[in-house]
Amino acid sequence: MRTLMGRILLAFGVGFGVFVFLFSVAVGVSARASLGALERTREARIRGEVVDALEEVAAEGRFGRAEVMRVLRPYAPFLQVVVVLDRERRPVAAWMRGEPGMGMRGMMGSGGVGDVPGEVWEGLRWDSVRVDGRVEGYVGLRVAGFGASEEEGALTRGFLVPFVTGGVVALIGSGGVLLLLVRDFARTARRMAEGLVRLARGERGVVFPDASIEELSAIGRAAVSLQEQLLREERLRAQWSQDVAHDLRTPIAALRAQLEGMRDGVLQVSGERVSLVLDELARIEALIEDLALLTRVEDPARRGLREEVALGRVAAEVVERLRMLGEGREVEVSVEDEGVVLGEGDLLVRMVENLVRNGFQHASGEGPVRVRVERAGAEVVLQVENPGRIGEEELPLVFERLYRGERGRHSRGSGLGLAIVRAVVEGHGGRVEAASAEGWVRFTVRLPASS
């Protein structure tokens, strides 16, 4: 059975069968112990009554076969074997339960005294028949098991029939209820599986059913979240593809025009013109390098060499190197702790560079660019602030790999800088967030401090 419903029903059937087996064993053992105690009590009672009745007959001098048979006949339904001997240990009467419906049959010879088969004597417990202290005879008997009489058989059947009937009814009832529950469960699971298959095939707008079972409900919520993320990334990918195509098309078109003009003699070859060509080539090269770096950082199979890196020293060096990008804007660097973290040095340097470069490029209005490194418990915190504003609707998207906001469309960047920042930070077990308030934009990076 490969279906969910089939396997659940199979598990229920096996479980119910094991339960019935164990329950039957427990009931059987308990019933056997109870019946054993009942049979021992009944045997002691019957044995005592038979001996008392035979002693009365012997006291009246009527210890013959006919009188003995008359005394024993009321006990016939409860006896399996009975043998009565006189004081000389000669058989007086010997009976054994016959075939069903035949009652008791005699085991004596035609003359009243005959050979009693040896198997009748085996296993009998003998009691003396005494009159005034004298032994007048002996009686050996074996009581039949419980259920030998019609009344006891009816009692046994009255116990077994409701037990078996109740078990069958319980099996059918519980199986029906389980079938109803499993059918709804299986239907919901099947619809979710079909939705996931459609999602994997590229369909969007798939509706996943609500489930009353928490595990299925969690799967449904995760599937909806996955679909929303896929839709968002597809939209961002389309937008980013257009932006990258535009960023590549513009410098390539400029290069083509410059080179064709110089080839045709329309433009004079000069140092300034060659510098323009080199600038456009550098722009294309930077975009390609960012794409290659982002691909490398986001590769889950990548295993780089980790070493201790002082994030405070890295921040100070990066600011000094990029200070010219500020075009005279003041830069404040505050290093309250060396901020030693364990990571890949070149990637951490690139992460800091991208944040500082972003601060310089998008700073607006009055105020300096601030870079701060400090220790906060088990974390090293890097903050980069610049005067400006990011719309509230853009904040959740600024780190998206395929997103370029309105403020970035007119810059010369590739639009991948902050995506690289997030990939590097998360690759080092940290987190990064952006905030915009009161005319300032703040990027905060938190990385685990090296132990």
CATH number of the domain encompassing residue 26: 3.30.450
Q: Are residues 21 and 38 in the same domain?
A: yes
Q: Are residues 122 and 243 in the same domain?
A: no
- Domain with residue 429: its CATH number is 3.30.565.10
Q: What distance in Å separates the CA atoms of residue 303 and residue 396, rounded to the nearest whole number?
A: 29
What does the pLDDT look like over 209-245, one tens digit per residue? 877 777 778 888 888 888 888 888 777 677 667 766 7
How distant is the alpha carbon of residue 394 from its chain centre? 38
Q: For residue 77, tell me if it sits in a domain.
A: yes
Q: Are residues 228 and 317 in the same domain?
A: no
Q: What distance in Å separates the CA atoms of residue 131 and residue 128, rounded to the nearest whole number?
A: 10
pLDDT at 8 over 70: no
Q: For residue 170, tell me if it sits in a domain.
A: no
What pLDDT does 432 receive?
94
pLDDT tier for residue 247 given thresholds of 50, 70 and 90: low
Please tell me the pTM assigned to this model: 0.48
Q: Are residues 255 and 322 in the same domain?
A: no
pLDDT tier for residue 154 given thresholds of 50, 70 and 90: low
What pLDDT does 353 receive?
92
Q: Are residues 310 and 412 in the same domain?
A: yes
What pLDDT does 101 receive?
35
Q: With H, G, I as helix, E, B as strand and everything else as coil, classify residue 403.
A: coil
Q: For residue 177, tell me if it sits in a domain.
A: no
Q: For residue 59, tell me if it sits in a domain.
A: yes
- Count the domains in the chain: 3
Structure-block tokens of residue 335: 């290093």
Q: With H, G, I as helix, E, B as strand and everything else as coil, classify residue 303.
A: coil
More confident residue, 388 or 169: 388
- Domain with residue 277: its CATH number is 1.10.287.130
| Count of all residues that appear for the chain in the document | 451
Q: For residue 208, tell me if it sits in a domain.
A: no
| Domain endpoint, select from 280, 296, 312 | 296
The residue among 391, 392, 394, 370 whose CA lies nearest residue 382 is 370
Q: Mean pLDDT throughout 159-166?
A: 68
How distant is the alpha carbon of residue 36 from its chain centre? 48
Q: Are residues 227 and 365 in the same domain?
A: no
Sign of torsion, CA 183 184 187 188?
negative
pLDDT at 425 over 90: yes
Query: Which range, 140-154, 210-224, 352-366, 394-408, has the best average confidence (pLDDT)?
Result: 352-366
What pLDDT does 113 receive?
35
Q: What distance in Å separates the CA atoms of residue 445 and residue 397, rounded to the nearest whole number?
A: 16
pLDDT tier for residue 444 given thresholds of 50, 70 and 90: very high
> Crossing angle for the helix pair 345-362 and 417-427, nearest 10 degrees?
140
What pLDDT does 443 receive?
95
What does the pLDDT look like over 170-213, one tens digit per residue? 767 776 776 676 777 778 888 888 888 888 888 888 888 877 77
Sign of torsion, CA 38 41 44 50?
negative
Residue 208: other Cβ atoms inside 10 A: 21
What is the DSSP pairing of strand 379-387 with strand 79-86?
Answer: unpaired
Q: Are residues 75 and 110 in the same domain?
A: yes
Domain holding 443, by residue range, is 304-448
Q: What distance in Å separates the CA atoms of residue 358 and residue 319, rounded to the nearest whole number?
A: 12
| Domain endpoint, select from 241, 273, 296 | 296
What does the pLDDT look like over 80-116, one tens digit per residue? 888 888 888 888 888 777 634 333 444 443 333 344 5
Contacts of range 290-294, beta carbons closer than 8 Å, 24 or more positions apart: 290/414, 290/416, 290/417, 290/420, 291/414, 291/416, 293/350, 293/420, 294/401, 294/416, 294/419, 294/420, 294/423
Q: What distance in Å separates the CA atoms of residue 55 and residue 154, rounded to the nearest whole number?
A: 33
Q: Are residues 326 and 226 in the same domain?
A: no
Q: Are residues 226 and 109 in the same domain?
A: no
One-letter amino acid of 279: D
Q: Are residues 258 and 328 in the same domain?
A: no
What pLDDT does 414 receive?
64
Q: Are residues 225 and 262 in the same domain?
A: yes
What does the pLDDT look like over 46-60, one tens digit per residue? 889 888 988 888 888
Q: Are residues 359 and 230 in the same domain?
A: no
Q: For residue 221, tell me if it sits in a domain.
A: yes
Query: Which range, 186-200, 292-306, 367-381, has the best average confidence (pLDDT)?
Result: 367-381
| Domain endpoint, select from 125, 151, 177 | 151
Q: For residue 333, tell me if it sits in a domain.
A: yes
More confident residue, 64 or 161: 64
Q: What distance in Å separates the CA atoms of residue 341 and residue 445, rounded to the nearest whole number?
A: 12
Q: For residue 72, tell me if it sits in a domain.
A: yes
What pLDDT does 245 receive?
73
The helix (run of H) or strand (run of E) holding residue 310 is: strand 307-310
What pLDDT does 6 receive?
63
One-letter amino acid of 94: A
pLDDT at 435 over 70: yes
Give me the percent of the chain exceeding a pLDDT of 90: 17
Question: How many alpha carbons fall within 13 Å on the CB side of residue 362?
Answer: 30
126-130, 191-195, 436-440, range with the lowest pLDDT: 191-195
More confident residue, 258 or 121: 258
In the predicted model, what is the mean pLDDT of the chain?
Answer: 79
Q: What distance in Å separates the CA atoms of residue 217 and residue 211, rounded to the nearest whole number?
A: 5
What pLDDT does 315 receive?
92
One-letter amino acid of 89: R
Question: Taking a C-beta distance cutoff of 8 angstroms, is the pair 141, 50 a contact?
Answer: yes
pLDDT at 28 over 60: yes
Give me the percent of the chain exceeding a pLDDT of 70: 78
What pLDDT does 387 receive?
92
